[in-house]
Amino acid sequence: MKKKLLCVMCGLVLTISMIAGCSQNFQDDSVETGRESNNKTDGVSFTQIADDALSDVTEEEYEEIIVNMYEELDEEYIEEFDEMSGIEIKEQLDTFNDKYDVGDVLSEEDEALLLYTCQNYDTVEEENSEFETIAYVTRNYSIGNTKTSNNVKVGYSGTLSTYVTGTTGQYKTNVKITKYSGTVKSMKWKTSHKAYGLIGTSGKSASLGVVYSGSNTSSAYTSTFSFSKTQKYSAILAVYVSTWGTLDVKTSSGEFNMNTKTYSSTE
């Protein structure tokens, strides 16, 4: 296991020098259009970084910590995860987003699963089109769906994009929300994003946890609108990121929502 991880981490170190040039491929923008003329973009969260994220370690120290964590995995965990399909592993990883917030440390079993995934990502990626390696390139995910509820038909279409480097991350929303029929009180889009990495006061006590949690949220509209927003953040060598979108709809008869798949990348 150590040999494979070293190759991944060496690639991390080599590509950090290319960050400045590569980041230009993911340009910052903030555009929201719709019925309202002031084009507000309220609800966009500020960057949140875990206070005890290991931002003061070198790449070599980071590599050594991760390698040691792999080597210390309980064999019972490895045997358990070996029996799971890539789809089952992805479904279990998706539960992390509801269980943990920024600064939280993963449980022992969840940390073991994430470490196992980082080491065996080929198996998970092969069975999940929404799961990819970080790879220092922009990942684009096409999204689209419609739903009829409470005498209203609405839908969304567009893309969610992520770009993660050794020290920074970005996620972008480019979506159109369409009201096909009925009357709505409000429609609001939210893109959520979490990054997982090393947390701890020192290398000796390092654990995996949430080093960033944030979102892009549109204004509320009553008719068709488009929403585009890029959010940047700092994260030291994140090993796993997760992105998903939600459309919340309010009508006179009640409320309902629509969720995209959860799109994930790992080292």
pTM to 2 decimal places: 0.79
Residue 185 DSSP label:
S
The 3-class secondary structure across 110-125, one letter per residue, is HHHHHHHHHHCHHHHH
- Residue-wise pLDDT tens digits, 95-113: 999 999 998 999 999 999 9
Beta bridge partners of 189: 247
State how far the Cα of 146 lies from the Cα of 83, in Å rounded to an integer. Answer: 36
Residue 201 DSSP label:
S
Q: Which helix (H) or strand (E) holds 77?
A: helix 75-82
If pLDDT is split at 50, 70 and 90, which confidence band does 16 have? very low
pLDDT (0 to 100) of residue 138 = 84
- Residue-wise pLDDT tens digits, 60-90: 777 778 778 878 889 999 999 999 988 899 8
How many residues would you count in the chain?
A: 267
Beta strands, E only, 29-93: 30-33
State how far the Cα of 119 lies from the Cα of 142, in Å rounded to an integer. Answer: 27
Take residue 156 and report the two structure tokens written for it. 């969304």
Domain boundaries, the chain: 2-13+31-266
- Residue-wise pLDDT tens digits, 153-175: 999 999 999 988 877 889 999 99
Q: What mean pLDDT is predicted for residues 179-198? A: 95
Residue 75 DSSP label:
H
pLDDT (0 to 100) of residue 146 = 98
- Residue-wise pLDDT tens digits, 126-159: 777 766 666 667 889 999 999 999 999 999 999 9
User: Taking Cα atoms as reference points, which of 195, 203, 125, 205 lies closest to residue 166?
Assistant: 195
- Burial class, 208, CB count within 10 angstroms (exposed 0-12 / middle 13-18 / buried 19+): buried
Distances (CA, A) of 91 to 70, 128, 188, 200: 22, 10, 26, 27
- Burial class, 45, CB count within 10 angstroms (exposed 0-12 / middle 13-18 / buried 19+): middle
pLDDT (0 to 100) of residue 122 = 72
